[in-house]
Amino acid sequence: MRIKDIAKISAAAFVCALVLAPAAYAAAVPSDVVGRHYETAVSALADPGIITGDVDGLFYPDSNLTRAQFCTIIVKAMRAPAATVNGTPSQDVKKSGFPDLAGYGWAEGYISYAVDKGVVTGYPGGSFKPGNNVTMSELITMTLRAAGYDDAALGGVWPENYVAKAGDIGALAGLSAPLPEYATKWMAAQLVCNVLSRIEAANPPEATPPEGDANPAETPAAAALTFVKGAFDSDITTFAGKPFASGAKVLRYGRKADYSKDMTLPEAAADYLEDTVYKYKNVETPAWYELEGDKIKRLILPLDVGFSGRAYGVIKNIVSVTDSQGGAVSGFVTLTAGRTITWAGDSGLAKDNIPSKEQYGGGQLFEFQLRNGQVTGVASAVHASDPTKFGTLRASVPGEVGTVSEPGNVGSGGKFATIANKTGSVVTIDPGEGKSKWIFEIKDKAVVYILGADGNYSVGSASAVREKALVRLYDVSDDKDQSVDVVILKEE
């Protein structure tokens, strides 16, 4: 069955079935979509930020989409973690490996994620052709793969097999017939909307990584382990050149000085502590690993290795953990770079340098000074302030905790500022008290944390940063750009 032979479907006879989380603020429907039969679909995808209008606020529904643009849309529909596809100030985007993505840095993380999930492939010869208009066949194929279908399950010949399945499950409802060769923006919105519930069911939210100090359920299989000296890459996706398998486990045991190919590892699972890989950026260390194919399934690391430098995050809780000497110390359960990470406090960390619940529970971002993965100092990060000083503000004096309250700081003194206007990535803040409004740009790599009404933090997406939202803005990177790296948004 050819695409042009698909039976006509009345545009007025469809229902876009949606399973969407309630949005804090409804996104405005672009004026060039209002009254069209696909208005519901565009509106439904605009609310969670899956699709966006142009900088002038219009949608241009009859425009074609490029392969890179639709790859971004479908990955957003899959609810990919923002830190994974956009990177963070301390974590780079994973590269896809395609040689023709120059100028498409904004789409690199999305394309890489789609490739990893089997949603999209390149062309013979290794190119991706990101600027090519996406064909209707490619649009349908990527959408159904995101919804859990694959070549093996469908059988048949491409693209007829995917087009036929799309018709069977109602994915083509509301689309023009015969289907055109190239997809338009409204068609992409309608198709994704029609199967959004299937996409979400096939892509449940990623499980929160272990918060540290948990004993693993299994004992490492000594016969399957290989000793190696290597380093993590800056993307934290490989160690010693080997990529991590999905769901790879990181265990901690012993001290770095004792690691050698002749060392004896314990057999009891209780002798190991389970950790997350996200605290080892650029770390060099000896280790033991177990492979699954050519990927690392399990990695055993010394207790006294970890990232050294500065990291920024909100504190979810203060707990008791085990340090590299095997002693009990204060641990900081944080959201850092969009991930849950538990950092052990250094044994020499002064008690008065450990924030109280009152200090960390109200929307404050903290800077952690780290040595070998252990916290040696904590400081309160400073809010974005006067744009003339924007790139110079970093953090308060090490050792000082709590809310920084310098005159003019946005949301200072424990207060949150209101976004008066948002156009694209640019937000206008009204500091009140008769002061002039300030304009800031939210970086593509900005991390969004949401302070819930219950006082707990969660990772949010850029789509949550909307007009009337209550925010605190932070510039914590080393660049001189007058732009925001971290947003803390308060739920009402």
Beta bridge partner(s), residue 367: 312, 379
Q: Which of 202, 233, 267 marks a domain boundary?
A: 202
In a domain, residue 209? The reply is no
CA 251 to chain centre: 24
Are 198 and 237 in the same domain? no
In a domain, residue 130? The reply is yes
Per-residue pLDDT at 298 = 92
Instruction: Report d(CA 360, CA 315) in Å as an integer.
Output: 6
Per-residue pLDDT at 128 = 95
In a domain, residue 343? The reply is no
Per-residue pLDDT at 226 = 94
**Matching residue, tokens 């989409």:** 65
Are 13 and 65 in the same domain? yes
In a domain, residue 278? The reply is yes
pLDDT in tens, 34-63: 999 999 999 888 877 788 777 677 889 999
pLDDT in tens, 325-336: 777 788 899 998
Domains identified in the chain, total number: 3
Tokens for 324? 């590299």
Q: Which of 139, 174, 202 marks a domain boundary?
A: 202
Encode the chain in three state secondary structure: CCHHHCCCCCCCCCCCCCCCCCCCCCCCCCCCCCCCCCHHHHHHHHCCCCCCCCCCCCCCCCCECEHHHHHHHHHHHCCCCHHHHHCECCECCCCCCCCCCCCCHHHHHHHHHHHHCCCCCCCCCCCCCCCCECEHHHHHHHHHHHCCCCHHHHCCCCCHHHHHHHHHCCCCCCCCCCCCCECEHHHHHHHHHHCHHHHHHHCCCCCCCCCCCECCCCCCCHHHEEEEEEEECCCCCEECCEEEEEEEEEEECCCHHHCCCCCCCCCCHHHCEEECHHHCCCCEEEEEEEEECCEEEEEEECCCCCCCEEEEEEEEEEEEEECCCCCEEEEEEEEECCEEEEEEECCCCCHHHCCCHHHHCCCCCEEEEEECCEEEEEEEECECCCHHHHHHCCECCCCCCCCCCCCCCCCCCCCCEEEEEEECCEEEEECCCCCCCEEEEEEEEEEEEEECCCCCEEEECHHHCCCCCEEEEECCCCCCCCEEEEEEEECC
Are 284 and 163 in the same domain? no
In a domain, residue 66? The reply is yes
Per-residue pLDDT at 64 = 94
In a domain, residue 395? The reply is no
Per-residue pLDDT at 438 = 77
Are 21 and 116 in the same domain? yes
pLDDT in tens, 297-331: 999 999 889 988 888 899 998 888 777 777 778 88
Are 238 and 194 in the same domain? no
Are 133 and 270 in the same domain? no
Are 198 and 56 in the same domain? yes
Are 169 and 72 in the same domain? yes
Beta bridge partner(s), residue 314: 335
Are 230 and 131 in the same domain? no
Are 78 and 148 in the same domain? yes
Are 187 and 294 in the same domain? no
pLDDT in tens, 149-182: 999 889 999 999 999 999 999 999 999 889 999 9
Q: Which of 266, 301, 336 marks a domain boundary?
A: 301
User: Does the pTM of the predicted model rise above 0.75?
Assistant: no
Domain that holds residue 422: 410-490
In a domain, residue 175? The reply is yes
Are 153 and 35 in the same domain? yes
pLDDT in tens, 433-465: 776 677 888 887 788 999 988 888 988 877 788
Instruction: Report d(CA 282, CA 373) in Å as an integer.
Output: 12
Q: Are strands 457-460 and 417-423 parallel, antiparallel or unpaired?
A: unpaired
In a domain, residue 401? The reply is no
Q: Which residue in 93, 99, 56 sits closest to 72, CA to CA?
A: 93
Which residue numbers in the chain have pLDDT < 50?
A: 1-27, 209, 383-413
Per-residue pLDDT at 139 = 97
